[in-house]
């Protein structure tokens, strides 16, 4: 994406970014905690087989994820699944944001999300840079998995 290109986010993700940008620091942290509580549970097929999930070592907490692709190519529908412990609300909140904002979109829409989109949430004032790198790591792993699976 060139610097002159507009940053177009998928609608659901753009709404989440807008919600965060409309709030002050403390309220942003509260909204992150709400996303933490809203992270969907893993489907049984993954809950019973955690070895199928990929770890996200960029996260300070034990976060795991897996994607599914229905179809091939950029138009294929993508599903995102995350495992994050309740005692890691920040990382769990990041996973919740990605799940709510990207799950069910096409592979192409997710691949087009800028890698630095996490900066637009305005969490740098309330969350450490190390934790923000964790969220960027989750997004990067989601994209890599989707590229591999959509090409298969």
Q: How far apart are CA 146 and CA 152, in angstroms?
A: 10
**CA end-to-end span of the chain:** 25
Q: Which residues pair with 82 in a beta bridge?
A: 65
pLDDT higher than 90, residue 25: no
Q: How far apart are CA 119 and CA 122, in angstroms?
A: 6
Residues 6+ apart with CB under 8 A from 125: 25, 28
Closest CA to 146 of 108, 101, 114: 108
Closest CA to 113 of 5, 15, 19, 13: 13
The pTM is what? Answer: 0.92
Q: How far apart are CA 92 and CA 62, in angstroms?
A: 10
For the stretch 28-82, pLDDT in tens is: 999 999 999 999 999 999 999 999 999 999 998 999 999 999 998 999 999 999 9
With bands split at pLDDT 50, 70 and 90, how would you rate the model's confidence at 129?
Answer: confident
For the stretch 132-148, pLDDT in tens is: 899 999 999 999 999 99
Q: What's residue 1's pLDDT?
A: 39
Tell me the C-alpha to C-alpha distance, in Å, between residue 43 and each of 9, 65, 81, 83: 27, 12, 8, 10
Q: What's residue 5's pLDDT?
A: 43
Q: Which domains does the chain have, with CATH numbers?
A: 11-151 (3.90.1010.10)
Mean pLDDT over each residue of the chain, to the nearest integer? 91
DSSP letter at 134?
Answer: H
């Amino acid at each position: 994406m060139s610097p002159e290109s507009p940053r177009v986010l998928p609608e659901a993700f753009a709404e989440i970014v807008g919600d965060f940008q409309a709030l002050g620091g403390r309220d942003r942290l509260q909204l992150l905690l709400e996303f933490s509580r809203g992270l969907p549970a893993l489907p049984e097929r993954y809950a019973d087989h955690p070895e199928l999930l990929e770890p996200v070592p960029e996260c300070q907490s034990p976060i795991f994820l897996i994607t599914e692709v229905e179809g091939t190519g950029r138009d294929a529908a993508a599903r995102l699944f995350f495992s994050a412990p309740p005692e890691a609300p920040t990382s769990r909140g990041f996973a919740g944001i990605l799940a709510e904002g990207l799950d069910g979109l096409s592979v192409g829409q997710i691949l087009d999300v800028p890698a630095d989109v996490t900066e637009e949430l305005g969490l740098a004032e309330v969350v450490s840079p190390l934790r923000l790198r964790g969220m960027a790591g989750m997004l990067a792993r989601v994209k890599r998995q989707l590229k591999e699976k959509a090409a298969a």
